[in-house]
A and B are shown apart, each in its own frame.
Chain A
């Protein structure tokens, strides 16, 4: 609690005495970030499947496995930040109907099991069966279990895989919107906090999720191809870049609209928020989220729309853009979550945000949560590599 005494000295203006401590810290910045990556990666995958954007095919399986790896990790920072993590089941047994947060348990389960796991299973079932016949030892047993006993590979059954997978994908798109949109609603519906309370919040969260998810797939496609030492399909990468550009423009427009509206109406909270944005959030909002995370990628990808430079130039610029976007969207979440708690609800002062190195909400733990999904993804790519899927002809 010593850190609180330190923070007390750094209070600027007046805050309600209970407001000294930020309650939703880095873990709650991470959670929307991770679910946003999941939703965004899934939407990109479903573009290929449902809207038949063939050129995106090389990223399809990668996007799905990425979504799964990140979704598995998503729940961990959330539960670990609770005061009583072992009571977390209550959200499933007695969800309070009026609370946006109560939907978490069900939407998470639904999305994990019905949407992601099932879609991947339908997509991989044939390969799982074939691998269970080809592999030896413990791998053979693992694949046999993964087939869930459905080993029929007749053309009719395989056609059902395709049909059912398609239905799941179609259902998955609104589910992805719900998975991340409800997080935006959690913030947007808090009338007590004017930085959060806006109708646009769920929409902004959703579009920034799509942006981050697409950027993640772009980055991973490049990284995995480089690790595997295979050639990148530039048509695919260009298409991903195109979608990233358009969604970035939409996201930037929405966020700007939110701010312009706020500046124009200038209602009671405007003065303190203006101080917040031009003071404590200057670096994270204008430089990291705005300039580096949004403007630079938009300009770069926008130039490609008019004139495509050579592949040698495009590749590193795609890499840079995707990383900048990923960083920018992280700081967007930061600015919303942390920014919303830095100013007092009395509108008369600011507190400060302290984050340490160790502890459940420290830098090290954050790093663990960020690295873990990549480790899980590596495991998936080793177990069920998309590039080792059997060609259509084998029965």
Chain B
């Protein structure tokens, strides 16, 4: 054990303050937090940045969105492949939860529990969240799925090798393997429509206007209005996927 004391205090203090100051300076130069999507970053600010809004209070569970999606995008008709589907949540008076999505909702929904037993019930349309920090894009081994400059997550079906890693990685169950193409497939936000100024099919046909989509960069656009006027939630926020699908009226039971 040595006996000599070294005058550490002043040197240490200066060193620590320098590190702290440097970090503060560096982080101020990097992107500031985007409040609506935690720590998000649009890839190309000259392009629109698409997000989606779904108002559960307006959804009547008619399922026309799911039906139109299958027609518009030539999705296989079998009940195992959905780019968009509608779930029905029924909380019963005995405290149990029943969730169902017969045929993904493409044939509409019927009430399966009698009124007397119901505590609360509502319909939740689901689709790809077009996450900003998409876990499915992160895991693709070859670069076949990607986040387009407009914020739409797409799949290159000529490049996909069909390893299914992205399907495992999506927390929302939005992806499936196309039975004929043998590549991963999912909602493209009707990219072939929005690039021509048309609405995606599901938004086009919604009879109550429960589904909207728009440019997050447009301060006067529908998305800003939706986010301002409603208390919005995303699914599974703890996973930090940067989901750009904002729900109004998302109840705690919704998975």
A–B interface present (Cβ within 8 A): yes
Write out the residue numbers on chain B whose beta carbons fall within 8 Å of the beta carbon of A186.
Answer: 165
Write out the residue numbers on chain A whose beta carbons fall within 8 Å of the beta carbon of B255.
Answer: 345-348
Write out the residue numbers on chain A whose beta carbons fall within 8 Å of the beta carbon of B85.
Answer: 16-17
> Which of B133-141, B196-204, B220-228 lies on the face that meets chain A?
B133-141
Write out the residue numbers on chain B whose beta carbons fall within 8 Å of the beta carbon of A18.
Answer: 80-82, 167, 173-176
Annotate A82-101 by CB proximity to B: 1 below 8 A, 0 otherwise: 11110110110011101111
A16, A20, A21, A88 — most chain B CB neighbours (10 Å): A16
* Residue in chain A with minimal CB distance to B88: A14
Task: Please state if A1 and B78 are interface contacts (CB–CB under 8 Å).
Answer: yes
Task: Please state if B239 and A191 are interface contacts (CB–CB under 8 Å).
Answer: yes
Bound CA span A53–B176, Å: 51
Annotate A285-328 by CB proximity to B: 1 below 8 A, 0 otherwise: 00000000000000000000000000000000000000000000
CB of B119 within 8 Å of the partner chain: no
Write out the residue numbers on chain B whose beta carbons fall within 8 Å of the beta carbon of A98.
Answer: 138-139
Q: Contacts A193-B168, A345-B172, A346-B99: A23 and B177 contacting too (C-beta < 8 A)? A: yes
Instruction: State which of B100, B135, B162, B175 has its C-beta within 8 Å of the C-beta of A83.
Output: B162
Task: Please state if B171 and A96 are interface contacts (CB–CB under 8 Å).
Answer: no
Task: Please state if A101 and B80 are interface contacts (CB–CB under 8 Å).
Answer: no
CB of B182 within 8 Å of the partner chain: yes
Annotate A72-83 by CB proximity to B: 1 below 8 A, 0 otherwise: 000000000011
Bound CA span A232–B99, Å: 61
CB of A8 within 8 Å of the partner chain: yes
Which residues of chain A from 337 to 384 have a CB within 8 Å of any chain B CB? 341, 344-348
Task: Please state if B100 and A14 are interface contacts (CB–CB under 8 Å).
Answer: yes
Task: Please state if B141 and A104 are interface contacts (CB–CB under 8 Å).
Answer: yes
Bound CA span A94–B174, Å: 25
Q: Contacts A18-B173, A87-B161, A346-B99: A95 and B141 contacting too (C-beta < 8 A)? A: yes
Q: Contacts A18-B82, A192-B171: A96 and B182 contacting too (C-beta < 8 A)? A: no
Task: Please state if B80 and A82 are interface contacts (CB–CB under 8 Å).
Answer: no
* Range of interface residues on B (Cβ < 8 Å): 35 or more
Task: Please state if B168 and A91 are interface contacts (CB–CB under 8 Å).
Answer: no
Write out the residue numbers on chain B whose beta carbons fall within 8 Å of the beta carbon of A346.
Answer: 99, 173, 255
Instruction: State which of B104, B144, B181 has its C-beta within 8 Å of the C-beta of A17.
Output: B104
Bound CA span A23–B183, Å: 12
Instruction: State which of B97, B104, B141, B175 has its C-beta within 8 Å of the C-beta of A101.
Output: B141
Write out the residue numbers on chain B whose beta carbons fall within 8 Å of the beta carbon of A101.
Answer: 139, 141, 163, 165
CB of B207 within 8 Å of the partner chain: no
Q: Contacts A4-B78, A348-B97: A99 and B173 contacting too (C-beta < 8 A)? A: no
Task: Please state if A91 and B182 are interface contacts (CB–CB under 8 Å).
Answer: no
CB of B142 within 8 Å of the partner chain: yes
Q: Contacts A94-B143, A102-B141: A1 and B160 contacting too (C-beta < 8 A)? A: no
Task: Please state if B162 and A82 are interface contacts (CB–CB under 8 Å).
Answer: yes
CB of A226 within 8 Å of the partner chain: no
Task: Please state if B169 and A192 are interface contacts (CB–CB under 8 Å).
Answer: yes
Write out the residue numbers on chain A whose beta carbons fall within 8 Å of the beta carbon of B165.
Answer: 99, 101, 186
Bound CA span A346–B135, Å: 17
Give min CB distance, B117 to chain A, whole Å.
Answer: 17
Write out the residue numbers on chain A whose beta carbons fall within 8 Å of the beta carbon of B171.
Answer: 191-192, 345
Write out the residue numbers on chain B whose beta carbons fall within 8 Å of the beta carbon of A84.
Answer: 160-162, 182-183
Bound CA span A16–B128, Å: 12
Instruction: State which of A83, A94, A190, A348 has its C-beta within 8 Å of the C-beta of B142.
Output: A94
Task: Please state if B168 and A192 are interface contacts (CB–CB under 8 Å).
Answer: yes
Which residues of chain B from 87 to 104 have a CB within 8 Å of any chain A CB? 87, 97-101, 104
Give min CB distance, B80 to chain A, whole Å.
Answer: 5
Which residues of chain B from 179 to 209 have a CB within 8 Å of any chain A CB? 179, 181-183
Task: Please state if B239 and A83 are interface contacts (CB–CB under 8 Å).
Answer: no
Write out the residue numbers on chain A whose beta carbons fall within 8 Å of the beta carbon of B98.
Answer: 14
CB of B114 within 8 Å of the partner chain: no
Task: Please state if B164 and A23 are interface contacts (CB–CB under 8 Å).
Answer: yes
Task: Please state if A96 and B140 are interface contacts (CB–CB under 8 Å).
Answer: yes
CB of A246 within 8 Å of the partner chain: no
Task: Please state if B135 and A192 are interface contacts (CB–CB under 8 Å).
Answer: yes
Bound CA span A306–B42, Å: 64
* Residue in chain A with minimal CB distance to B163: A82
Which residues of chain A from 93 to 125 have a CB within 8 Å of any chain B CB? 94-96, 98-102, 104
Write out the residue numbers on chain B whose beta carbons fall within 8 Å of the beta carbon of A88.
Answer: 161
Task: Please state if B161 and A90 are interface contacts (CB–CB under 8 Å).
Answer: yes
Task: Please state if B97 and A96 are interface contacts (CB–CB under 8 Å).
Answer: no
Task: Please state if A16 and B172 are interface contacts (CB–CB under 8 Å).
Answer: yes
Instruction: State which of B101, B104, B161 has its C-beta within 8 Å of the C-beta of A14.
Output: B101
Annotate A18-30 by CB proximity to B: 1 below 8 A, 0 otherwise: 1111011000000
CB of B2 within 8 Å of the partner chain: no
Task: Please state if B239 and A192 are interface contacts (CB–CB under 8 Å).
Answer: yes
Task: Please state if B79 and A8 are interface contacts (CB–CB under 8 Å).
Answer: yes
Q: Contacts A345-B173, A348-B255: A191 and B159 contacting too (C-beta < 8 A)? A: no
Write out the residue numbers on chain A whose beta carbons fall within 8 Å of the beta carbon of B37.
Answer: none
Write out the residue numbers on chain B whose beta carbons fall within 8 Å of the beta carbon of A8.
Answer: 79-80
Bound CA span A202–B170, Å: 21
Task: Please state if A190 and B168 are interface contacts (CB–CB under 8 Å).
Answer: yes
Instruction: State which of A1, A96, A193, A348 has its C-beta within 8 Å of the C-beta of B143.
Output: A96
Give min CB distance, A113 to chain B, whole Å.
Answer: 21
Bound CA span A189–B136, Å: 12
21 contacts between A and B (CB under 8 A): A14-B99, A14-B101, A17-B81, A18-B81, A23-B167, A24-B164, A24-B168, A82-B162, A82-B163, A90-B144, A90-B161, A91-B142, A95-B142, A96-B140, A99-B139, A99-B140, A99-B141, A101-B139, A190-B139, A345-B171, A346-B255
Give 8 nearest A-B pairs by CB, closest first.
A83-B162, A16-B173, A83-B182, A192-B171, A346-B255, A14-B99, A101-B141, A23-B164
Mark A residues whose CB is within 8 Å of B: 1, 4, 8, 13-21, 23-24, 82-85, 87-88, 90-91, 94-96, 98-102, 104, 186, 189-193, 341, 344-348
